[in-house]
Amino acid sequence: MVISNTTAEASTKNISCTFASRYVRTALPRYKMPENSIPKDAACQIINDELMLDGNPRLNLASFVTTWMEPECDKLIMDSINKNYVDMDEYPVTTELQNRCVNIIAHLFNAPVGDEETAIGVGTVGSSEAIMLAGLAFKRKWQQKRRAEGKPCDKPNIVTGANVQVCWEKFARYFEVELKEVNLEEDYYVMDPKKAVDMVDENTICVAAILGSTLTGEFEDVKLLNELLTKKNEETGWNTPIHVDAASGGFIAPFIYPDIEWDFRLPLVKSINVSGHKYGLVYAGVGWVIWRNRDDLPEDLVFHINYLGSDQPTFTLNFSKGSSQIIAQYYQLIRLGFEGYKNIMENCRDNAKMLTEEVEKTGKFKVVSKDVGVPVVAFSLKDSSKYTVFDISENLRRFGWIVPAYTMPANAQHVAVLRVVVREDFSRTLGERLISNLQTVLNEMESHPIPVSTKSAHVTIDSENTQGDKVITKKDVTETQTEITKFWKKLVDRKKTNAVC
Amino acid sequence: MTLSKAATQSDASVHSTFASRYARVCLPRFKMPDNSIPKEAAYQIINDELMLDGNPRLNLASFVTTWMEPECDKLMMDAINKNYVDMDEYPVTTELQNRCVNMIANLFNAPLGETEVAVGVGTVGSSEAIMLAGLAFKRRWQNRRRALGLPTDNPNIVTGANVQVCWEKFARYFEVELKEVKLSDGYYVMDPQKAVDMVDENTICVAAILGSTLNGEFEDVKLLNDLLEAKNKETGWDTPIHVDAASGGFIAPFLYPELEWDFRLPLVKSINVSGHKYGLVYAGVGWVIWRTKEDLPEELIFHINYLGADQPTFTLNFSKGSNQIIAQYYQLIRLGFEGYKNIMENCQENAKILKAGLEETGRFTIISKDIGVPLVAFSLKDNSIHNEFEISDMLRRYGWIVPAYTMPPDAQHVTVLRVVIREDFSRTLANRLVTDIEKVLTDLDALPARFSAKLAANDENDDQVSRKKTALEMQKEVCSVWKKFVDERKMKINGVC
């Protein structure tokens, strides 16, 4: 008789269900790489579960970046996820698709290229990289010009509005260019063209205008800037060019505001950047920069390498990167075409209008975003004495919405706004639900006034209680709870954002 | 009686993609099309055109990962719509990045306490990582010089001529002079002695490479550290070291733990590594770690609030996808130390097999060393009749992409073929490659020499005999002229980059 030895531990790791295994009992490593491997299902499940506690991207109304694409495109993205974009020789079709996107976008911006002529431009990881490349090109051209004239070139500067996105400040600090900012004022939250042109001097490498300010979505008047700058150039002979940061607006203006002249139709505009991952309707990770023509991109900034096997010209800050977003951008351009993009932008605009009207109807807010611009609704509280926009923002999180609140830059720091970005996937039903939740939050805060938080120190407070008697009110349970959680959250946030970017 | 009208033209959406008119029309190349097309048609057309790209897994030119487990693919797809930079909205994703930084810093023996948070950041690749590290060095050097009242207008960086192009980019874009230590025949990495000799008061750092792109060799960082320390004592300049461990950073700790190249050496202030090379993640993630907080000047860090909360940021890119960061964390905990060690040992084994197979043919000299990145770089013993570029071209017929390139100065006369052994290059593939290379050699031997080589030979003999070209020679000549023409046109169409 054969006695078969049943091993008790034969219920091996392979057959136990993930949540029955020992892997869910141990804490995940945080500081040191673990010594041993774990099964892939366990790894996947554990990480997946922890990620459930992230915000829902589609309810993140703070971001302009696309959060939804068609499933067909998802399939294309997954198929190309292992293609390293920079291997131009190995993946010629992918490279070709990038070139087609550059051509299509250049024509969309009315670049002065012939119908079958190749445009000058490149795909980047986002508008930050695009702006750095464009800025580098301007800096180099200016230096060459100054050296030819025998003048010093050690103090370049760039003129923009104080409403610029942080990447301009990064460019200025990392590439040692002085940033001359035109300050904003209350009710005028973009760069004033006249003030900008007054700030231009012989060391200015370019003036940067924004089509679609991050703060309020407004388009700056590039046409006026062009006229004023042309006149100044005629007097001074400095030939200062313009760069348009169309990160958000570049994929909006051509479709719903075709009459606004902001692109290469204006002769002083030498380069434009646009984010493919904002209203280009692609997931995060792709931007485009287009130059007017070959002369605007100095040849000595372009590198030629051969160690992947053949000559490859490269002018980007990043080298290896995925190809998926480039392919996804091409998919969107041909799938939607002009009419598709137009329809989507019109929908966004209408939904933004609806939101604006409903917000105004509550009677408590002042809307600072304009009708013409990026479909964004930015609004501030008329009366911030009892509660501030920061409080509203925190309370909306309970419903799942992420609506950011922030203060304006100089010289409007006393103004704080809430901002809702209307993306492609923000339908009308979602808009109505947001309004209803907002109303609920307002009602709550009206009936339970909470202590003034430290953040709202920036915000103008209707001074009723500031100077007078200190009325000591006994805090009720809810108030104490809110206070404790706020303190705790601040403590946790401080710990979290430590040391690492 | 109601007459129902039969629609003679069925609804366009009913047509199968290849039956529809979309398969007949040329895809737009210069202008955006006016009308939309159905998503299935868009998907199919793009997918079909992409079939003509090379197969990523047979691309032996690249160090970048081309295969990951399907479970990880699922995690990546789920995270594809998360914009990484929204730290406030996606706190767990941000936390995962921090954990990766800590783990990698500990892997590199950064001088940290048990639960101390490391200083580092995730980037899009080693290029961005190197630019950030270089910027930190440049700023620290400028601050120090200004404090001493000395000029700061001529910073330079000392590296070997074998550096990857991103160092040259850094130098040119950030206006730092690049002082390159030239290579020599048989010595294809930076010589530490020559490097230290080149250091002067304007040197912001010396960059050593762990895993040279050309032949996978590790540079002797320990020797560099010792020599540089001696020089620093004499001059008082305090020149630091940066280690570009783009490839080697995820190999050395597992295969060569005794090799001292990381923060164990006191002069090493920052290290970069590519998550998408031997970190085993798809293209799009790199890491840079600093030794301590002091090595990263605070003025380079930006604090913004317009997404709703304070966010410190020190990267060149802002918005980007989160999936590679999550994938990196998956790999780190899924594989753990033993998993990575097993994979690197396999790669090393397969590299040895390939090397043995090539040596057996008797036609190649192996340029790559045993210790280093698992790759095999080899050149022909005799390349007078046929050269490495031809072998590379002919291997393409079998599907393999094996690059051929020339060494940088002063070894430009040396041409090599290079095969990178990645995680997914198994032994069966290695055997098949050797077989195919043997086939290619046989084919080439049967062909006459390149016409130009023959011409050079004729000139030497000073024979004015005008040979009548055979049919095969004519064909080859016409083909090579045509190919050059097509390549040139392709290059032009490529525009910039």
Domain ranges for chain A: 8-54, 73-336, 349-495
Using a CB-CB cut-off of 8 Å, the residues of chain A touching B119 are 499-500
What is the rounded end-to-end Cα distance, in angstroms, of chain A? 68
Q: Where are the alpha helices (DSSP H) in B289-426?
A: 323-361, 388-395
- Residues B188/B232, Cβ–Cβ less than 8 Å: no
- Is pLDDT of A125 > 70? yes
When mean pLDDT is compared across A208-222, A345-359, A446-460, B477-491, the lowest value belongs to: A446-460
> In which band, very low, low, confident or very high, does the pLDDT at B207 lie, cut at 50, 70 and 90?
very high
Using a CB-CB cut-off of 8 Å, the residues of chain A touching B318 are 126-128, 165-167
What is the torsional sign of CA A28, A30, A32, A33? positive
- Is pLDDT of B469 > 70? no
Q: How far apart are CA A131 and CA B206, in angstroms?
A: 29
- The string of DSSP letters for B433-461 reads HHHHHHHHHHHHHHSPPPHHHHHHHHHHH
Q: What is the pLDDT of residue B107?
A: 94
CATH number listed for the domain at residues A349-495: 3.90.1150.160
pLDDT digits (tens, 9 = 90+) for A384-427: 888 999 999 999 999 999 999 988 887 788 889 999 999 999 99
The distance of B382 to chain A (nearest Cα, Å) reads 20
Nearest residue of A to residue B392 by CA position?
A309
The distance of A27 to chain B (nearest Cα, Å) reads 11
State percent of chain A over pLDDT 90: 58
Task: Report yes or no: B311 at the A interface, CB cutoff 8 Å.
Answer: yes
| CB-nearest partner of A331 from B46, B84, B101 | B46
Q: How far apart are CA B483 and CA A310, in angstroms?
A: 13
Cβ contacts below 8 Å, chain A against chain B, sum to 429
CB contact under 8 A, B117 and A79: no
Q: How far apart are CA A392 and CA A380, in angstroms?
A: 11
Reduce the secondary structure of A281-337 to three states and give it as a string. Answer: CCCCCCEEEEECCHHHCCHHHCEEECCCCCCEEECCCCCCCECHHHHHHHHHHHHHH
- Is pLDDT of B326 > 90? yes
pLDDT digits (tens, 9 = 90+) for B8-22: 455 555 667 777 776
Mutate to test the interface with B, among A78, A91, A175, A307 (most CBs of B within 10 A): A307
Mutate to test the interface with B, among A18, A52, A68, A82 (most CBs of B within 10 A): A82
Q: What is the pLDDT of residue B213?
A: 87
Could you count the other beta carbons within 10 Å of the beta carbon of residue A80?
Answer: 25
pLDDT digits (tens, 9 = 90+) for B130-153: 999 999 999 999 999 999 999 999
- Is pLDDT of A194 > 50? yes
pLDDT digits (tens, 9 = 90+) for A421-479: 999 999 999 999 999 999 999 999 988 865 554 444 444 433 333 343 444 445 555 66
Q: Model-level pTM?
A: 0.84
State percent of chain B over pLDDT 70: 86
In 3D space, the residue among B339, B427, B415 whose CA is nearest the CA of residue B380 turns out to be B415
Using a CB-CB cut-off of 8 Å, the residues of chain B touching A496 are 91, 94-95
> In which band, very low, low, confident or very high, does the pLDDT at A292 lie, cut at 50, 70 and 90?
very high
| CB-nearest partner of B214 from A48, A307, A316 | A307
Using a CB-CB cut-off of 8 Å, the residues of chain B touching A107 are 30-32
Using a CB-CB cut-off of 8 Å, the residues of chain B touching A125 are 124, 317, 320
Helix (H, G, I), strand (E, B) or coil at A404: coil
CB contact under 8 A, A34 and B333: yes
When mean pLDDT is compared across A209-223, A301-315, B113-127, B286-300, the lowest value belongs to: A301-315
CB contact under 8 A, B46 and A77: no
| CB-nearest partner of A62 from B89, B337, B493 | B89
Using a CB-CB cut-off of 8 Å, the residues of chain B touching A283 are 80-81, 321
- Residues B166/B201, Cβ–Cβ less than 8 Å: no
The top-level CATH class assigned to A73-336 is alpha beta
Common-topology check for domains A73-336 and A349-495: no
pLDDT digits (tens, 9 = 90+) for B399-421: 899 988 888 877 888 899 999 99
CB contact under 8 A, B496 and A30: no
- Residues B4/A36, Cβ–Cβ less than 8 Å: no
Could you count the other beta carbons within 10 Å of the beta carbon of residue A299?
Answer: 11
pLDDT digits (tens, 9 = 90+) for A29-83: 778 888 888 899 989 998 999 899 888 999 999 899 999 999 999 999 999 999 9
In 3D space, the residue among B360, B380, B372, B359 whose CA is nearest the CA of residue B421 turns out to be B372
Using a CB-CB cut-off of 8 Å, the residues of chain B touching A165 are 318
Helix (H, G, I), strand (E, B) or coil at B242: strand
- Residues B335/B343, Cβ–Cβ less than 8 Å: yes
Strands in A376-381's sheet, in edge-to-edge order, are: A365-367, A376-381, A416-421, A405-407
Q: How far apart are CA A65 and CA B124, in angstroms?
A: 18
Could you count the other beta carbons within 10 Å of the beta carbon of residue B257?
Answer: 9
Task: Report yes or no: B486 at the A interface, CB cutoff 8 Å.
Answer: no
| CB-nearest partner of A318 from B81, B125, B321 | B125
ipTM value for the complex: 0.82
Q: What is the pLDDT of residue B414?
A: 87
Average pLDDT over residues A148-171: 91
The distance of A182 to chain B (nearest Cα, Å) reads 18
Task: Report yes or no: B58 at the A interface, CB cutoff 8 Å.
Answer: no
Using a CB-CB cut-off of 8 Å, the residues of chain B touching A44 are 71-72, 74-75, 330
For tokens 């700056």, name the residue.
A220
CB contact under 8 A, B168 and A47: no
The distance of A39 to chain B (nearest Cα, Å) reads 7
Q: Where are the alpha helices (DSSP H) in B375-425?
A: 388-395
CB contact under 8 A, A496 and B28: no
DSSP 8-state assignment for residue B271: E
Nearest residue of B to residue A124 by CA position?
B317
What is the torsional sign of CA B491, B495, B496, B497? negative
CB contact under 8 A, A28 and B61: no
CB contact under 8 A, B168 and A303: yes
Q: How far apart are CA B117 and CA B112, in angstroms?
A: 8
- What integer best gives the mean pLDDT of chain A? 85
The one-letter amino acid code at B276 reads H
Q: What is the pLDDT of residue A2?
A: 58
Using a CB-CB cut-off of 8 Å, the residues of chain A touching B276 are 84, 320
- Is pLDDT of B377 > 80? yes
> In which band, very low, low, confident or very high, does the pLDDT at A8 lie, cut at 50, 70 and 90?
very low
